[in-house]
Structure 1
């Protein structure tokens, strides 16, 4: 279908700096996920910069064709490639038809994302380990407070992250039906899931047993799962301030968990710490910085 059929915004539309548009058509009557709904087509309008107060999404019709327009910043597409998020949108962008582009910028962006794909496994593993560690620590705290229902919920979330790590380690992209995927591999994490959800032990005993296994997972797999973070820390000679790491563009997707990850890495001696003269606002204190 030609671009002129649709009300696809050009580069002057609104306050967005548009570099092109990609259309993905629904195949027949097959279901293509929640983003397409019952539309025949989704049009991704790729922007170099987006104004958060301008239109982000539109529902349109041309003749008998219903379609959805979604505005996306190219930086978000690159970030999702790193983190493994928004996989539907990534698929639509990579496999859709380029309706138009400015100076080949959409084609260039596609090439960059395909090239990045081979190097993204470490980042995806780091993202899942970050989620695993956060929910595991929370489950441990709830268990110590004898709040076993909240501990159970967090333990389930922790095991889902653990399961995704196992799949990623095998070069398998995790799907929504994570336990169906992992059951076929007969891994330790599925046995832990079964132990937590279907054991005859008391809830307290089940949580304690799974926590012990997760303790071992943290000890044995932390360095492997944190390679993307360790690579960034080792990329320069000067020690890093914690604020620098939380603001690093390649670590945006785990920003809130970086302090916890760093302290665990220091405790396991994978990261070293040093102190430096602090700014005056910290009084007599010295600022801790991190290096390999």
Structure 2
């Protein structure tokens, strides 16, 4: 197997576009991140032809997966938290090739967790939290309790990740193990929701009350990145917002976040008359004008 792995990665390491190669072995610690494959070869490249290139192999009764990802896509995953296994791969993988210390520097940056990156990630998690919470509350009010429960579980997960990032930790795949020791109050709420013998409606009642408290306490921090960006101009159309480079990672979650911040008075609405009678364009502003 070693020779086979060496053949695969050396071929790509010789290409100038390859920045680094890591080997991830399936262990008890990484079982949840390797999709049952015995080995993962993870290649970081500057090649922009494809964001992600995949190959699956079978050799000597072992399964091996090769992932080759474009550096821009990797940065998007790391910032948005949309591919959480990547953290485990980078922090626990064995470096086989590292051009100009690219991989070592990337790993060091993950461990240092610079403040500007942390602020953006807090904003992204807060937006996801708000969307799940508001959708869950609407479903609850419509008496769709099981669907509301599903959204609440997701909202708690985003709250847990947000609380870890707030304290300077990178959320891992096993996020609740981290939260149990770092944010025991949030862990207790999650545990009550999962393990309580109370009827589902009563559990959701209590959970929404607790969530409102946690969200209220984090609104200033969670919205700070978005509000700083929006403060650069007097007013924004929704098209301006979704096209703003600094806000693209918020994706569809930004709509629920904007309405939440309007409702709480962090953002204001400016109406401008359109060509249609009694129809107004709606703009967002941080200024009370």
Structure 1: distance between partners of 2:182 and 2:124: 22
1:19 to 8, 17, 20: 17
Query: Cα RMSD over matched residues?
Result: 3.8
Structure number with higher helix proportion = 2
* Alpha-carbon contact 1:47-1:71 (below 8 Å) kept: no
2:185 to 171, 185, 188: 188
The residue number in structure 2 matching 1:219 is 216
2:12 to 8, 11, 15: 8
Q: SS of the residue aligned with 1:42?
A: strand
Structure 2: distance between partners of 1:50 and 1:244: 29
Structure 2: distance between partners of 1:219 and 1:186: 16
The one-character-per-residue Cα deviations of 1:79-104 (angstroms, maximum 9, x if unpaired) are 12322343443565687647475xx6
* Alpha-carbon contact 1:23-1:97 (below 8 Å) kept: yes
The residue number in structure 2 matching 1:14 is none
What are the equivalent positions in structure 2 for 1:147-186 lying under 5 Å apart?
147-185=144-182
Structure 1: distance between partners of 2:200 and 2:262: 33
The residue number in structure 1 matching 2:240 is 244
Aligned residues: 277
Q: CA deviation at 1:286?
A: 3.0
Structure 2: distance between partners of 1:100 and 1:67: 21
* Alpha-carbon contact 2:84-2:173 (below 8 Å) kept: no
- 1:114 matched to 2:122? The reply is no
- 1:34 matched to 2:29? The reply is no
What are the equivalent positions in structure 2 for 1:121-140 lying under 5 Å apart?
121-140=118-137
* Alpha-carbon contact 2:139-2:148 (below 8 Å) kept: yes
Q: CA deviation at 1:219?
A: 2.9
Could you say if the C-alpha distance between residues 161 and 26 of structure 1 is closer, same or farther in structure 2, counting changes exceeding 3 Å?
closer
Could you say if the C-alpha distance between residues 283 and 56 of structure 1 is closer, same or farther in structure 2, counting changes exceeding 3 Å?
farther
Structure 1: distance between partners of 2:107 and 2:176: 32
Q: CA deviation at 1:8?
A: 2.1
Q: SS of the residue aligned with 1:25?
A: strand
* Alpha-carbon contact 1:23-1:92 (below 8 Å) kept: no
1:256 to 252, 255, 273: 252
The residue number in structure 2 matching 1:49 is 48
Report which stretch shifted further, 43-52 or 134-143.
Answer: 43-52
Structure 2: distance between partners of 1:175 and 1:85: 12
The residue number in structure 2 matching 1:15 is none
Q: CA deviation at 1:284?
A: 5.7
Could you say if the C-alpha distance between residues 168 and 21 of structure 1 is closer, same or farther in structure 2, counting changes exceeding 3 Å?
closer
TM-score where L is the length of structure 2: 0.77
Structure 1: distance between partners of 2:104 and 2:229: 23
The residue number in structure 2 matching 1:275 is 271
